[in-house]
Structure 1
C-alpha cells in the first residue's frame, strides 16, 4: 500500500513537470519503477501509463495537431519501437538496467549543456523518429529527444505538445502490444498504470481549464 502511495505521488509530481514542458515525466519515474516493480515490469508499466497520459494531451490539442510531421516521425518510430521492445524482452535485464541509467545520464547532460537544439527537416523527423522509437522500446522513454525534434520545426506550443503526444501515443500503443505478448502483465500492474496515467491526464485537464 505504501509503495502504491509513493508511486501515485511521484506520478502526480512527474505529470506536473511533463504537462508543463511536454516531456520529462517518464524519465523521472523510471528509476522509481525499477526499484518498486523490477526492471522486467518497470518499462511496460511506464509504457501503459504514458499511453494514457499522452492520449489526454493529444485529445485536448487534437484540432491543432500537425499531421505531416507526425506521419513522417512515425515512419521511423513504429518499426524501430517494435525492434526496441523486442530487444528489451530478449536482452539480459542487468544490461537493460545499465542502458536505462546511461540514457538518463545522457539526456541530463544534453539538457544541462543545452545540446538538444536541432534543425528541423523531413529527414530529421524520419531518422529521429527511428532513434526515439528504438530507445523508447528498449528503456521506456526518449521524451527529451522526441520533444527536441518537434521543437525544431517551430510549431506553436499547443500544436507542439499535441503533435508530439500523438507520436508517443502510437509508439506506446505498439510497444504495449509487443510487451503483452511476451510478458505477463497482471491486473495489479494494469491498475497501477491506469492510476498513474490518470494522474497525468488530470494534470492536462487542470492546465487546459486555466
Structure 2
C-alpha cells in the first residue's frame, strides 16, 4: 500500500470519526459534510457509494444506541416511499447531472430554517405524510449520497427530539442506504475498491457515533433543536456552494 493511499485513508478516517460524532449529536449532517471531502479524495461517482457504505455503520450504530426510542410506525411509512425511489435514484446516478439538484436542496434547507423561525409552532405533519418524505429522501440520497437534513424538519415538526429523533432518523436512513447498495451494485458503481474504502473508514465511524451519543445525552431539548437548525443552515450552504 502506497504512502499516499495511507495518508488519504488516515485523513478520511479522521473525518469519518468527527462527522459520525456530528451525526450522533444532531441526528444528521455527517454525510452532507463528508460529501465534499470524499469527492475531493475519490471523485463524485466513487464518493457517493463510498459514503453509502460508511453510513451503513454510522446509522446502524445510532439505531442500536437509541433502539428503545424508535418510532416504528414512522419508519414503516418512510420506507414505503424510500425504497422504490432509492432504487430509481441509484440506477440514475451514473448519468444524472447532480449540481443543480444540490443547489435546489440547499435553498430548500435554508428556507426551512427561516420558516421555522417565522412560525415556531409549525403544523404537525401526519404519519402518512412520511411516505412522501421517504420518497423524496430516497431519490435525493441515492443521487447526492446523503440528504439527512431534508428529513430533519419533518421529524422535528412531528415532535421527535433527542433519542427518539436520532434513532428513528437513523433507522430510516439505514433502509435507504441498504436499498442504494443494491442499486449501485446493479450499475457497477459498487466494486471491491468501494467496499474496501468503506470498510476502512468504518472503525472511525463507529467510534465517532459512540462519542457523539455521550455528548447528545447531555443536551437539553432546546439546545438540541438549535443545533439541528444550525446544522441545516451549514448543510444548505454547503449544498449551494458545493461541486
Q: TM-score range by the shorter chain?
A: 0.7 to 0.9
Q: Which residue of 2 aligns with 1:65?
A: 70
Deviations 1:34-73 (A, max 9, x none): 1211111111011111111100011111122110011111
Q: How far apart are residue 203 of structure 1 and its match? A: 2.2
The 5 A counterparts of 1:189-204 are: 189-204=194-209
TM-score (norm 2): 0.76
Give the Cα–Cα distance (whole angstroms) in 1 for the partners of residues 104 and 202 of structure 2: 23
Gap change, CA 1:147 and 1:194, over 3 Å in 2 = farther
Q: How far apart are residue 96 of structure 1 and its match? A: 2.4
Give the Cα–Cα distance (whole angstroms) in 2 for the partners of residues 12 and 71 of structure 1: 29
Q: Does 1:18 align with 2:32?
A: no
Q: Does 1:96 align with 2:98?
A: yes
Q: Which residue of 1 aligns with 2:124?
A: 119
Match of 1:181 among 182, 186, 196: 186
Q: Does 1:42 align with 2:74?
A: no
Give the Cα–Cα distance (whole angstroms) in 1 for the partners of residues 167 and 195 of structure 2: 25
Q: Which runs of 5+ in 2 are unaligned?
A: 1-5, 216-243
TM-score (norm 1): 0.87
**SS of equivalent residue, structure 1 residue 141:** coil
Q: How far apart are residue 109 of structure 1 and its match? A: 2.8
Match of 1:8 among 10, 13, 23: 13
Q: How far apart are residue 17 of structure 1 and its match? A: 1.4
Q: How far apart are residue 170 of structure 1 and its match? A: 0.9
Q: How many residues align?
A: 206
**SS of equivalent residue, structure 1 residue 44:** helix
Q: Which residue of 1 aligns with 2:110?
A: 109
Q: Does 1:74 align with 2:79?
A: yes
Q: How far apart are residue 195 of structure 1 and its match? A: 3.1
Q: Which residue of 1 aligns with 2:173?
A: 168
Gap change, CA 1:10 and 1:151, over 3 Å in 2 = same
Structure having the higher Rg: 2
Give the Cα–Cα distance (whole angstroms) in 2 for the partners of residues 48 and 35 of structure 1: 17
Give the Cα–Cα distance (whole angstroms) in 1 for the partners of residues 106 and 140 of structure 2: 14
Give the Cα–Cα distance (whole angstroms) in 2 for the partners of residues 103 and 36 of structure 1: 24
Q: Which residue of 2 aligns with 1:31?
A: 36
Gap change, CA 1:149 and 1:195, over 3 Å in 2 = farther
Give the Cα–Cα distance (whole angstroms) in 1 for the partners of residues 9 and 47 of structure 2: 14
